[in-house]
Amino acid sequence: MNVILIAVIVLGAIGLVSALILFLAAKKFAVHEDERIGKVAEVLPQANCGGCGFPGCSGFAGACVKAADKGSLEGLLCPVGGQPVMEKVADILGMKAEASAPKVAVVRCNGTCESRPRIAEFDGAQSCRVQQMLGSGETACAYGCLGCGDCVAACQFDAIHMNPETGLPEVDEEKCTACGACSKACPRGVIEIRLKGLKNRRVVVLCNNKDKGAVTRKACSVGCIACQKCVKVCKFEAITVDANLAHIDAEKCKLCRKCEDECPQNAIHAFNFPPRKPKAEASAAEKPAAAAKPAVPAAEKPAVNEATVPAGSPTANVEPAKEQ
């Protein structure tokens, strides 16, 4: 009896003291948090990708609450959840969500193993950032994809993968949330977060090379040589050439695909367009370069090379470029 009593008293006393300590600690160290932050965080995707520019989803939620107190949610967007999630957030905070167009990651390099000869062999930790420290890396192009897959490792959504044949990453548009993690991970800034475009259709310069034309051409057969042809052909002033590199402004581009036909290097590609009608093929006799352009560039690569020998092949064009 005595033993049981002692046990009960001792354990009870320990329990009471502990409870007291816990109670005091809870009072003393209580963190007062705006309850709206928790509510907002609940509707966020909880991927903690940092695509919004804040450290994780709770950081973003805090920023939203702060912004709402100031009166506007402008400039805050969860790229993963997109518009629907922002509407929910706005509902919780009693605000109105602003519309924003969906975006997607675009790998601006088409320097496949065939088009961009390897001039050196990289040995070391398989990381683009490590290879970047060695100058231009395995190829002579100091701006293109390094092919070690830092972007793949950075993606939280399994939306970007290396294609072993081309040695380039490919974006799965269904899964891509445009969080920008891959873009930040790329030491060369090859990946652009770009407007998805009407019906997901986009026309993009698949090159990031800022060297002069002759240097680019030596390094890669499909690099932008800043010849300005696309700029001239564009009726909407959507294309600019800056630092030896053409860029198409997605907001101004009307998807006419004229630049794509014009580019002598096949650096401009159109995504998600239906296959061209036979009419276009008929005109191919006059403009061989404009012919069978594939909708998805990587898939039909060899065909393009054959079709464009007169205008786009490296051997045909290196000499005249030097003379210029």
Partner 1 sequence: MKPIISLSPHVHGGDSVQKNMYGVCIALIPALIASLYFFGLGSAIVLATSVAACVFFEWAITRFILGRERLTICDGSAVLTGLLLGFNLPSNLPIWIIIIGALVAIGIGKLTFGGLGCNPFNPALVGRVFLLISFPVQMTSWPLSGQMGYVDAETGATPLALMKLAIKEGDTSYLDQLPSAFDMLVGQTGGSLGEVSALCLLIGCCFMLWKKIITWHIPVSILATVFVLAGIFHLIDPSYANPVQVILSGGLMLGACFMATDYVTSPMTARGQLIYGCAIGVLTVLIRDFGSYPEGMSFAILIMNGFTPLINTYVKPKRFGEVKK
Partner 2 sequence: MKTFKIGGVHPAENKLSAAEPIRTAAIPKQAVFSMFQHIGAPAVPVVKKGDEVKVGTLLGEAGKGLSVPVFSSVSGKVNKVDAVLDSSGTRRMAVVVDVEGDEWLESIDRSDKLVTFKDLGTITAEEVVSRIKAAGIVGMGGATFPTGVKLMPPPGTKAEAIIVNAVECEPYLTADHRLMLEKPEQILVGIQLIKHAVNCPKAYIGIEMNKPDAIQLLTNLLKEKAAQYPGIEVVPLKVKYPQGGEKQLIDAVIGRQVPAPPALPINVGAIVQNVGTVYAIYEAVTKNKPLIERIITVTGKSVAKPSNFLARIGTPMQQLIDEAGGLPADTGKIIGGGPMMGRALMSLEVPVTKGSSGLLLMTEKESRRGEVSPCIRCAKCVSACPMGLEPYLLASYTRLKDWDGCEKNDVTSCIECGSCAFTCPSNRPLLDNIRVAKQTVMGIIKARHMEAIGKK
CB of 129 to partner 1, least distance (A): 11
* Straight-line distance from the first to the last Cα atom of the chain, in angstroms, rounded to the nearest whole number: 107
Mapped onto helix, strand or coil, the DSSP state of residue 118 is strand
Which of partner 2, partner 1, none does 284 bind, CB closer than 5 to 8 A by kind?
none
CB of 143 to partner 1, least distance (A): 17
CB of 120 to partner 1, least distance (A): 5
Q: Does 211 bind partner 2 (CB under 8 A)?
A: yes
Check: CB of residue 137 under 8 Å from CB of residue 131: yes
Distances (CA, A) of 260 to 8, 196, 218, 264: 85, 18, 21, 9
Q: Give the residue among 57, 112, 68 at the shortest CA–CA distance from 92.
A: 68
> Which range in 70-78, 80-88, 209-217, 232-240 contacts partner 2 by CB under 8 A?
209-217
Check: CB of residue 110 under 8 Å from CB of residue 294: no
* Residue 197 to residue 161: CA distance in whole angstroms: 22
In angstroms, how far is CA 285 from the centroid of its own chain? 37
> Which range in 8-16, 211-219, 222-230, 246-254 contacts partner 2 by CB under 8 A?
211-219
In sequence order, the 6+-apart residues with CB closer than 8 A to the CB of 77 are 52, 86, 100
Which of partner 2, partner 1, none does 244 bind, CB closer than 5 to 8 A by kind?
none
* Residue 310 to residue 86: CA distance in whole angstroms: 51
Q: Does 284 bind partner 2 (CB under 8 A)?
A: no
Applying CB under 8 A, the residues found at the interface with partner 1 are 118-124, 130, 133-134, 137-138
Task: List residues bridging with 160 in a β-sheet.
Answer: 171
CB of 285 to partner 2, least distance (A): 41
* Residue 255 to residue 111: CA distance in whole angstroms: 24
Which of partner 1, partner 2, none does 118 bind, CB closer than 5 to 8 A by kind?
partner 1
Q: Which CB sits closer to partner 2, 211 or 262?
A: 211
Which of partner 1, partner 2, none does 319 bind, CB closer than 5 to 8 A by kind?
none
CB of 114 to partner 1, least distance (A): 16
Residues 115-134 that bind partner 2 (CB under 8 A): 119-120, 123-125, 127, 129-130, 133-134
What angle, 0 to 180 degrees and rounded to 10, lies between the N-to-C axes of helices 56-70 and 35-43? Answer: 120
Residues 12-51 that bind partner 2 (CB under 8 A): none
Which of partner 1, partner 2, none does 7 bind, CB closer than 5 to 8 A by kind?
none
Which of partner 2, partner 1, none does 142 bind, CB closer than 5 to 8 A by kind?
partner 2
Residues 132-151 that bind partner 2 (CB under 8 A): 133-137, 142
* Residue 33 to residue 36: CA distance in whole angstroms: 8
Q: Does 243 bind partner 2 (CB under 8 A)?
A: no
Which of partner 2, partner 1, none does 285 bind, CB closer than 5 to 8 A by kind?
none
* Residue 18 to residue 21: CA distance in whole angstroms: 5
* Residue 263 to residue 293: CA distance in whole angstroms: 12
Residues that bind partner 2 (CB under 8 A): 119-120, 123-125, 127, 129-130, 133-137, 142, 211-212, 215
